[in-house]
Amino acid sequence: MAVFLATIELTVAQNEFPGVRRAKCSPPSGRVQLYEGHDNVLMKRLQALRTEMRRRSSTQSMELDAYLVPGYDEHQSPFLMEADQRVQFLTGFTGSIGEAVVLQRTAALWTDDHFLAQADLEVNCAWKLFRKGERPTITDFLLSELSPNMRVGGDPQLIPHHQWKNLDSDLKPGVIRLVPINRNLVDLVWGYRRPASNAPKVHAVRFAGETWATKVAKLRADLTAHRCDGMIVTSLTEVAYLLNVRGSDIPYVPVFKAYLLVTHEHLFLYTNTSRITHSVSTHLKTHACHNANCVKLREYEDVWRDLRTLSQHWQRFLVPGPIVFDTGASEAIHAVLPSNIILERPSPIIFQRAQKNDVEKRGMRQAHIKDGVAMCEVLSRLEERFLAGDVITELSLAREIDHARKKQNNSEGIAFPTTVAAGKNSALPNYTPTNRTNAELTESMLLIDSGGQYEDGTTEVSRTLHLGEPTKEQIQAYTNVLIGMIRLSMLTFPDNLKPAELDALARGPVWGSMNDYPHGTGHGIGSYSSVRESPISISYTAKQRYTFKEGYFFSNEPGYYKPNAYGIRLENVLEVVDTGKTHPTGYKFLAFQDVTLVPFERKLIDRTMLSVPEIKWLNGYNARIRELVGSELKRMHKMDAFYWMMNKTSHVCESNCASFAISTFGHLSLANIFTVVLLLARFTFN
C-alpha cells in the first residue's frame, strides 16, 4: 500500500490557534505522520494545490501564501452539484457546511459545531479543525499565520461580495493583500468534470399558480419603484421560481445552473443552451424574441461580457445583497459592474416567492397529506418488523422512507438526505447515517428527519420514536419538546411581530429543564424549491427585521439532545393564515395552521404535563390526521397503516377518561361502535 510521509512540526501545533483537539492526530514518537489509502490521496491533492499556489501561470503572475476554498458555487448556493464540491474533494469532509484555507505549511477547515464530530472522522491530520462562528475566524487565522506583504488568493465567483469586502478590510490592506484569482486552483488540481447536462423542464401553471410573465411584471414593478434599470438574478432557486422552470443539476433542490438578467426591455437567460428542450423554449418564447415579454437565450459564460457591455447604458442596477439564508451576489458580479450604478439590497423575488399564492398553498397542503401517507406506511411496518425480530439499520430504514415518498403522486424525490439516527447517534443534531456509522436499530430512541419534493410542494418532518420502553426522563424530555412545538403552533399574533420574538415560546419548556438545542426553531420553506428559504428564520440569536405574512410556510422544530445518550426533535411545517381580525393598533392578527400530518409517539407523551388547551390542540391535530391522511390510506387500501395511524392518534383524555368514553360512544352508530371495538381488540391504547 502506498504510504505518503508528511512532516508535522510540533511547534506549528503550539501556535496561537491549535484548533479543536483531535486525539487521533497526536504525533507519534517522532515528527512524522503516516497517511495511507484515501488519506494518502487527499494529501497528494493538498500538495498539488500548494504547487499551483506557487505556479505563476496559474495565479496571474504572483505566488500565493494562502488560498481560500469556500463552500459555495458561482451562485452562492450551499447546495452543490458534485462537480462543485471543492471542499469535499480537497479535504474528504462530506458535511454541508465547510470552508477551508490552505497555506504552504498548514491548512484549516471551519465547520458548524454540529458537524465537528463528522469532520474529525473524515478529515486527516494535515488539517486543523475550527468551529464556525467562534474564534479564530478565517481572518484571525490568516493574521496569525501570515507576515506583512503576503498574498491571500480566492476565486471571486465563489465568494459573496460582503464576505470578500469584510475579509479585505479585516486583513488590513497594505499589510496582507487579498487578490482575486480568476482561475480556480482546486479545479486545476481536480481536472475535467462533466458539466451539468440534464434538461430543465417546465413547471406547469397548475402547480405554480401564475405564469412567469406575471411574475416578471411584478418584478419589473419593483425595479421601477427602486428606480432601477434592471437586476441580475444569481440565485438558482430564484431563477427557477421566476421562470416556472425546474431542473436537476443539484441533488435535492430542483434547479438548473443559470443566471438571469432582467431589464425593462429584455430578459436574458444564461445557461447551457444545448440542453434547452423545445417545450422549455416554447414556454419561454425564445424563438424570434424581439420584445420585453420573451426570453433570449445566451451561453452561461456570456453573462460577464454582457454585464460589461450593457452596464454602460444603465444609471442604477440592482444587485442582490445578503438576507437570512441568502448571501447575495458574488464578488465577481460586483467587480464587473461600475460601482456607482450598483444598488445592493435583498432580491425582491425572495419576498414574492415566500408568499405563496392560492394554488401553491393548496399544493403544499396536498403534498403534506401524501407525505403523511408515506410516513404512516413506513412507520407501521417498522414497528411490526422490529417486534418480529427483523434486523433493521439506519440506512435501510432511510431507503424505505425515500422509496415510500417516491411512490406518491407528483413525487420528485427527496428534499434532503434522510436522517435516521438510532440511540446515541440521535444525540448528534445534524447526524446523517453513512456506511461508516450505520447502526442497527435497537430498543432505544430513534430520530427520523426527512422531507420530499413534489411538483405541488416541498415537505419536511421530524419525528422521534422509541422502539422499547422509554425512561421517565426520556418521556419528560419528549413532552417538553412537544409542548414547545404546540405553544408555537397555537399562537395568534399581530403581523408586526418579529420571528425571533417567537423563539422563546418553543424553547421555553426546554429552557425550563435547564437545557437548550443548538439549532434554529424554524426557517422558511419553498414550494417545489429549497427546503430552507428566506426571509423567515426563528432564532433568538438572529435579529431579523422581516415579519410573517399570510401565505408564508415555515418549519417549527424544537429539540433536545443529551450528549452520548439520545436526542429528540419534532418538526412540523406551519402555514401562516389571516384570522380576519385586526389588532387595536391596526395590524392584522395572524395565526398558524400545521400542514404536516404525521402522528406523534404516544408512549413518549406524559399528558399530565400538558395543559388543557395543549391537549385540545393535540386532539384536534390527531383528528385532522385521521380525516385527511386516514381517508387517503383507506382509498389506497393500506389498512395496516390505517389501523396503526388510528392507534397513534387516539383521543387524549383531558381529565376524566370515564366521562370521555360515555360522551364519545354515546352518539356512534352500531357499525361505528363495532369498528371501534375491533380497533380496541387490535391495539392497547396508551
Exposed e or buried b for every residue in 311-340, given b needs 16+ CB within 10 A? beebeebbbbbbbbbbbbbbbbbbebbeee
Does the pLDDT at position 685 exceed 60? no
DSSP character at residue 540: T
Exposed e or buried b for every residue in 366-405, given b needs 16+ CB within 10 A? bbbbbbbbbbbbbbbbbeeebeeeeebebbebbebbbebb
Distance CA 188, CA 194 (A): 14
Coil, helix or strand for 683? coil
CB 451 within 8 A of CB 464: no
Instruction: Tell me, letter by letter, the H, E, C secondary structure of 52-72.
Output: HHHCCCCCCCCCCCEEEECCC
Does the pLDDT at position 632 exceed 90? yes
- Cβ-based neighbour number of residue 363 at 10 Å: 24
pLDDT at residue 115 in the model:
82
Kindly report, residue by residue over 529-585, the tens digit of the pLDDT: 999 999 999 999 887 789 999 999 999 999 999 999 999 999 999 999 999 999 999
442's CB contacts (< 8 A; 6+ apart) are 422, 423, 467, 468
Does the pLDDT at position 168 exceed 60? yes
Lowest mean per-residue pLDDT among 141-145, 168-172, 188-192? 168-172
The domains of the chain are located at 37-190, 201-354, 358-648
Same fold, 37-190 and 201-354: yes
When pLDDT is cut at 50, 70 and 90, the band that residue 672 belongs to is low
Does the pLDDT at position 479 exceed 90? yes
pLDDT at residue 27 in the model:
61
The pLDDT of 89-106, averaged and rounded, is: 94
Distance CA 296, CA 493 (A): 45
Does the pLDDT at position 664 exceed 60? no
Sheet-wide strand order for 151-154: 128-131, 107-111, 99-103, 66-69, 151-154, 177-180
CATH number of the domain at 358-648, out of 3.90.230.10, 3.30.70.980, 3.40.50.720, 3.90.1170.50?
3.90.230.10
Distance CA 54, CA 13 (A): 24
Coil, helix or strand for 500? helix
Does the pLDDT at position 458 exceed 80? yes
468's CB contacts (< 8 A; 6+ apart) are 442, 443, 444
198 phi/psi in degrees, rounded to 5: -70, 140
CB 458 within 8 A of CB 503: no
When pLDDT is cut at 50, 70 and 90, the band that residue 505 belongs to is very high
Does the pLDDT at position 382 exceed 90? yes
Does the pLDDT at position 30 exceed 80? no
Distance CA 238, CA 485 (A): 30
CATH class entry, domain 37-190: alpha beta
pLDDT at residue 15 in the model:
56
What proportion of the chain, given as a percentage, has pLDDT over 70?
91
Domain covering 201-354 in this structure, CATH number = 3.40.350.10
Exposed e or buried b for every residue in 407-427, given b needs 16+ CB within 10 A? ebeebbebbbbbbbbbbbbbb
Kindly report, residue by residue over 106-121, the tens digit of the pLDDT: 999 999 877 887 889 8
Does the pLDDT at position 420 exceed 60? yes
What predicted TM-score, i.e. pTM, was given to this entire model? 0.91
**Residue from 395, 439, 448 nearest 419 by CA:** 448
